[in-house]
Amino acid sequence: MARYSDEIIDEVRQTNDIVDIVSQYVHLKRSGRNYFGLCPFHNEKSPSFSVSPEKQIFHCFGCGVGGNVFTFLTKIEGINFVEAVQMLAERANIQLPALDNNLDNAKEQLKAKVYKVNEFAAKYYHENLYKPEAKEAQEYVKKRKLSNDTLIAFQIGFSGKFDELYKELKKQGFEDREILESGLVNRNDRGQYIDRYRNRLMFPICDVRGRVIAFGGRVLDDSKPKYINSPENIVYSKGRHLFRIKCCKKI
Ligand SMILES: [Zn+2]
C-alpha cells in the first residue's frame, strides 16, 4: 500500500492541534496541563478521557485507548491512516503528493462518485424548495419559522415526485450502479428506478470534511413514516457517523 513520507506526515501532524481536532467530537475542559472530557469510545458518566496539548496525544484512563491525532481520527471516523492524513492535510491546506495505487482502487472510485451524487442531490433538493411546485414545503418551513438563512446554511431542500432525482442524475452522466449505491434511488421488481425520497423536506448529513454522506427526509403532513434516512452505504455508516452528524455549512 502506498504511503506518504515521514516528513509530510510530521508536517500534517504539527499543523493540526490535537485539542482542536478532538474538540470537534468531545466537549473538553482544561484541568491543569491537560484537557478532559467524556470518552467517545466507551460509555461513561465522569470524564476519564484526557488530551495533552504538550505531548499532542490522547489517552483514556477508562478503556485504555490512546494515541496521536491520526489514531484519534482513524478510530472515531472508522477510516484508515492514509485517509486520516488526507483529511487533516486538507484541513490545514497542505498539498499532498499523489498516491498512485490509492485512486486506482475501484472502491475508492465508486466512493468518489457517490460523494458527487450526494453533492448534486443536495443542491438539486435545495433548489427545488424554491420552485412553485414546492408550495406545500414552503408553507411548512414558514410555519416552522425556518429563516431563509437557516435553509441555506443547512442546505434544506425538497424532494420531488416519482423519479425526478433519478432522471436528473442520469442527465448528469451518473451510472445506475453509482446512483443505486448512494441509496437515493431504488430499483423495483419491474426494473423501474424510483427516488427513495418523494415529497419530503430534505436534510443533508455531512462528515467532518463537509461532504454529504446521507440524507434525512421528513414528511410534510402526518403520514408515516415521519422520517426516513439513507441506508448505510459505501460512504455512510450509522455507527461510525453517530457521534457527529452535523451540517455542511456552519451557521
Ligand atoms: Zn474510554
Positive or negative, the CA dihedral 105, 111, 116, 117 is positive
Residues with CB under 5 Å of ion ligand 1 are: 39, 41-42, 60, 62-63
C-alpha 40 – ligand 1 centre gap (Å): 7
Mean pLDDT confidence for 203-225: 87
Mean pLDDT of the chain: 89
C-alpha 112 – ligand 1 centre gap (Å): 33
Residues of the chain with CATH 3.90.580.10: 6-101
Least confident of 30-39, 103-112, 173-182, 185-194: 103-112
Mean pLDDT confidence for 183-198: 94
Residue 69 has pLDDT above 80, yes or no: yes
For residue 233, what pLDDT is reported?
Answer: 83
C-alpha 227 – ligand 1 centre gap (Å): 32
Using pLDDT thresholds of 50, 70 and 90, give the confidence band for residue 230.
confident
For residue 1, what pLDDT is reported?
Answer: 55
Residue 127 has pLDDT above 70, yes or no: yes
Look up cell 414546492; give the residue.
134
Give the fold, CATH level 3, of 6-101: DNA Primase; Chain A (3.90.580)
Within 13 Å of residue 28, how many CA atoms lie on the same side as its CB?
23
C-alpha 31 – ligand 1 centre gap (Å): 18
Rounded Cα gap, residues 59 and 50, in angstroms: 5
For residue 106, what pLDDT is reported?
Answer: 78
Residue 225 has pLDDT above 70, yes or no: yes
Q: What is the pLDDT of residues 172-185, one digit of tens each?
A: 999 999 999 999 99
Q: What is the pLDDT of residues 50-66, one digit of tens each?
A: 999 999 999 999 999 99
Mean pLDDT confidence for 213-232: 88
| CATH code for the part of the protein at 106-241 | 3.90.980.10
Residues of the chain with CATH 3.90.980.10: 106-241
